[in-house]
Structure 1
């Protein structure tokens, strides 16, 4: 029986997932080929089967974060159907289920890398635009819709940054109250 090379045992996605985990735990500086290979119990050769170099992995990690934490969430919200108020509630609930560790690591990474800053700026704007659009659908004027979108988004990012997280049940109760307040029309 021919033994598969270890590089075929791990997929590109396995490396990206480990890169995201390491990024969240210890920052971008530690997302390096040799330490990741040790963590995954393989040689560096396995890495080079899937990536040209560390920069290639870092780009893949960044794009995976965008896919999961922005595009994927928007797709999930849109797939639920319902009106804009229901979509906003689901969006808020999904957002608070994240622990914010990868988000914080990406924001820290952006402080030293203008390319990451540019991606983060696009992500922030895309998230705000999507949320604003839902508030517009609820019936708020453009300025009010943007203020409401910023309030909820900045509160969430600030909560991630400060690390002030209550337990999940309390957090869901809080975000549902925020939803009620922000979608209420006077």
Structure 2
């Protein structure tokens, strides 16, 4: 039996959260999924609520980094804005993004998840607002609308609706 680190449990928790929701985030099902013992779980976490807190904090601290890194690497501010919003809509910016819909659903009944989602959204709103300012759009409501559209985009949508929305906003300035 391999010795698991705290980060192994959190990574497994994010996968399980994305696949089956927060109900599966208990010591026994997680230990079974990892082929380990509950003792290993309790070595790293005092109890299940402390695991939930660690998982939510871990997600909130890391989910935006790849998103912002890719946008920063874009050639222009317009390309950065399109990249960022498309990645949010497609949840195409790393393992942490895959768990986002489940975290957002969990936030409806879990205060810590709600605070984490609010923090993540605020960071995104700040970044989108800054990019919009750089291309000459200073109305913060536009940033809110773009973030709301990107966050609420269904997984199975076709085409490039976020790119079209960004292009429309830029054409109206």
Normalised by the size of structure 2, how large is the TM-score? 0.83
Tell me if structure 1 keeps the 8 A contact 2:71–2:80: yes
Distance between the aligned counterparts of 2:27 and 2:80, measured in 1? Answer: 40
SS in 2 for 1:140: coil
Matched, 1:175 2:148: no
Conserved 8 A contact 2:16-2:24: yes
Question: C-alpha root-mean-square deviation of aligned residues, in Å?
Answer: 2.3
Report the counterpart of residue 122 of structure 1 in structure 2.
Answer: 119
Report if the CA contact (8 A) 2:89-2:152 is conserved.
no
In terms of mean alpha carbon deviation, does 21-30 or 38-47 score higher? 21-30
Q: Look up the match of 1:3.
A: none
Give the drift of 1:122: 2.0
Unaligned runs of 5+ in 1: 1-5
Structure 1 residue 62, shift from structure 2 partner: 1.1
Secondary structure of the 1:17 match is helix
Q: Structure 1 residues 101, 65: CA separation in 2 closer, same or farther (over 3 Å shift)?
A: same
Deviation at 1:111?
1.7
Shift of 1:101: 5.6
Matching residue of 1:18: 12
Partner of 2:131: 134
**Paired residues of 1:7 and 1:46 also in contact (CA < 8 A):** no
CA distance in 1, matches of 2:124, 2:21: 23
TM superposition shift of 1:184: 2.3
Shift of 1:164: 5.8
CA distance in 1, matches of 2:43, 2:155: 41
CA shift, 1:185, in A, is 4.4
CA shift, 1:178, in A, is 2.0
Aligned positions, number: 169
- 1:86 is matched with 79
Aligned equivalent of 2:37:
43
Deviation (angstroms), 1:12: 2.1
Q: Unaligned stretches of 5+ in structure 2?
A: none
Residue in 2 that maps onto 1:76? 70
Larger radius of gyration: 1
Matches within 5 A, 1:145-160: 146-159=140-153
Larger % of helix: which?
A: 1
